[in-house]
Amino acid sequence: MKVLVTGGSGFLGRRTAAYLEHLGWQVLLPSHGEVDITAEAELHEWFRRHTPEAVIHTAAVSDTGRCQREPEWSERINVGGSATLAKACREYGAKLLICSSDQVYSGSKVAGPHLEDETLAPNNVYGCQKLRAEQNCLKILPETVCLRLSWMYAKASLPNEHSHFLATLKGTLADESKPLLLPIYDRRGITDVADVVKNLPKALTLPGGVWNFGSENDSSTYDTVKAVLQELQLDAALGRLQKNEEAFAVLPRDLTMDQSRCKAVGILFPTTKEGLRSALKAEM
Ligand SMILES: NC(=O)c1ccc[n+]([C@@H]2O[C@H](COP(=O)([O-])OP(=O)(O)OC[C@H]3O[C@@H](n4cnc5c(N)ncnc54)[C@H](OP(=O)(O)O)[C@@H]3O)[C@@H](O)[C@H]2O)c1
């Protein structure tokens, strides 16, 4: 399979490319400088020359705070760039898989775990952009596979990448002078990026539509970490665990996703607690 991975220098793109190469796929990995997804004519010319059979689209402005501060610039990349890719895929007959986010469920009036066909009204710029990207891509190319990813972490960090939940958690666990302050009003799946990556080949074979794609979690971030530390009998760390009662207190957040649709086609993830437990255990 000849596949274009956009965002190949990013957290997910780098690991995706390495995994697919390991499977023997032909991975096309142009840098942002070589292929800017917002430059339509250049992108079409690139497709004409390289003819990918599939595209795994991980390029984005993934920093939610930056999207909030710079909505027009991030809209061009997150919404416009995704639509441009969908048009190129339609023209050159490539299967498209895009990375959406559990943030589309922010502002939801119903409690999680959320289902793919719920009515959505995201309450932040990033969530709105991800939802519009899904809608536009599906309109342009109905076979587009839109994966709603949860928050991701990596067991091992790579140079020059953004931080992630496990790295922050491990840093705090290692510094005995610091409290372990975690929100009680935030509930979301947190997934090992390796589990996302290894499920991507199968995801590419899915019919077009929207798929929740990550670890299930039924607890707040505070309760999740508490349960994991208890199971691992990390008593000193448990003693430093504190409830952050301010974060999300005004608008409690529940981004947890129901995975039934993926499970029905054999795409499986460990739960967030199972994943974090195995990641922390590997460090002990
Ligand atoms: N990380 C998470 O926890 C998480 C959770 C849910 C969903 N997601 C989604 O998953 C996908 C991957 O996230 P990530 O964390 O891997 O992102 P990331 O580390 O921030 O990487 C983003 C990538 O996009 C590239 N890029 C940005 N603008 C571009 C443009 N105009 N043309 C071409 N490339 C461009 C960047 O290249 P340069 O650095 O060279 O600009 C970088 O390689 C994104 O769609 C993100 O929204 C991520």
For a substitution probing ligand 1, which of 5, 37, 56, 62 has the most ligand atoms within 8 Å of its CB? Answer: 62
For residue 89, being part of any structural domain is answered with: yes
Contact, 49 vs 93, CB < 8 A? Answer: no
Q: What is the pLDDT of residue 56?
A: 98
Mark whether 164 and 111 lie in a shared domain.
Answer: no
For a substitution probing ligand 1, which of 38, 55, 58, 192 has the most ligand atoms within 8 Å of its CB? Answer: 58
Q: What is the pLDDT of residue 283?
A: 80
Nearest CA to ligand 1 atom 12: 58
Contact, 203 vs 139, CB < 8 A? Answer: no
Q: What is the pLDDT of residue 125?
A: 98
Q: What is the pLDDT of residue 57?
A: 98
Which residue has 């599939």 as its token pair? Answer: 54
Mark whether 90 and 174 lie in a shared domain.
Answer: no
- Chain segment 18-57, per-residue pLDDT in tens: 999 999 999 999 999 999 999 999 999 999 999 999 999 9
Q: Which residues contact 152 (CB under 8 A, 6 or more apart)?
A: 11, 12, 164, 190, 191, 192, 193, 196, 214
- Taking the C-alpha atoms of residue 51 and residue 72, their distance in angstroms, rounded to an integer, is 31
Mark whether 238 and 224 lie in a shared domain.
Answer: yes
- Chain segment 74-113, per-residue pLDDT in tens: 999 999 999 999 999 999 999 999 999 999 999 998 999 9
For residue 265, being part of any structural domain is answered with: no
Q: What is the pLDDT of residue 282?
A: 86
- Chain segment 258-274, per-residue pLDDT in tens: 999 999 999 999 999 99
For residue 264, being part of any structural domain is answered with: no
For residue 82, being part of any structural domain is answered with: yes
- Residue 172 tokens read as 């705090």
Is 7 touching ligand 1 by the criterion CB < 6 Å?
yes
Residue 147 has phi, psi (to 5 degrees) of -100, 120
Contact, 284 vs 235, CB < 8 A? Answer: no
For residue 43, being part of any structural domain is answered with: yes
Indicate the number of domains in the chain.
2
- Taking the C-alpha atoms of residue 79 and residue 11, their distance in angstroms, rounded to an integer, is 20
Is 96 touching ligand 1 by the criterion CB < 6 Å?
no
Q: Directed axis angle between helix 165-174 and helix 272-281, to 10°?
A: 50
Q: What is the pLDDT of residue 284?
A: 76
Mark whether 197 and 232 lie in a shared domain.
Answer: no
Is 37 touching ligand 1 by the criterion CB < 6 Å?
yes
Contact, 37 vs 83, CB < 8 A? Answer: no
Contact, 46 vs 30, CB < 8 A? Answer: yes
For residue 164, being part of any structural domain is answered with: yes
- Chain segment 143-183, per-residue pLDDT in tens: 999 999 999 999 999 999 999 999 999 999 999 888 999 99
For residue 260, being part of any structural domain is answered with: no
Alpha helices (H) along 23-81: 40-50, 64-69, 71-75
Mark whether 87 and 66 lie in a shared domain.
Answer: yes
Q: How far is CA 221 from CA 113, 129, 185, 256, in A?
A: 15, 25, 8, 11
- Residue 232 tokens read as 């691992």
Mark whether 243 and 276 lie in a shared domain.
Answer: yes
Assess whether the previous peptide bond of 113 is cis (omega < 30° from 0). Answer: yes
Mark whether 11 and 27 lie in a shared domain.
Answer: yes
pLDDT band at 2 (very low <50, low <70, confident <90, very high): very high
- Taking the C-alpha atoms of residue 77 and residue 228, their distance in angstroms, rounded to an integer, is 37
Mark whether 142 and 158 lie in a shared domain.
Answer: no
- Taking the C-alpha atoms of residue 129 and residue 122, their distance in angstroms, rounded to an integer, is 9
Mark whether 159 and 112 lie in a shared domain.
Answer: no
For residue 75, being part of any structural domain is answered with: yes
- Taking the C-alpha atoms of residue 131 and residue 79, their distance in angstroms, rounded to an integer, is 9
Is 157 touching ligand 1 by the criterion CB < 6 Å?
no
Q: What is the pLDDT of residue 266?
A: 98
CATH code: domain of residue 76: 3.40.50.720
Task: Give yes or no for residue 138 having a pLDDT over 90.
Answer: yes
Mark whether 37 and 125 lie in a shared domain.
Answer: yes
Mark whether 39 and 11 lie in a shared domain.
Answer: yes
- Chain segment 188-245, per-residue pLDDT in tens: 999 999 999 999 999 999 999 999 999 999 999 999 999 999 999 999 999 999 999 9
**Residue 222 structural domain:** 154-188+217-255+270-281
Q: Which amino acid is at 242?
A: Q
pTM over 0.85: yes
Mark whether 78 and 17 lie in a shared domain.
Answer: yes
- Ligand 1: nearest atom to the Cα of 9: 43
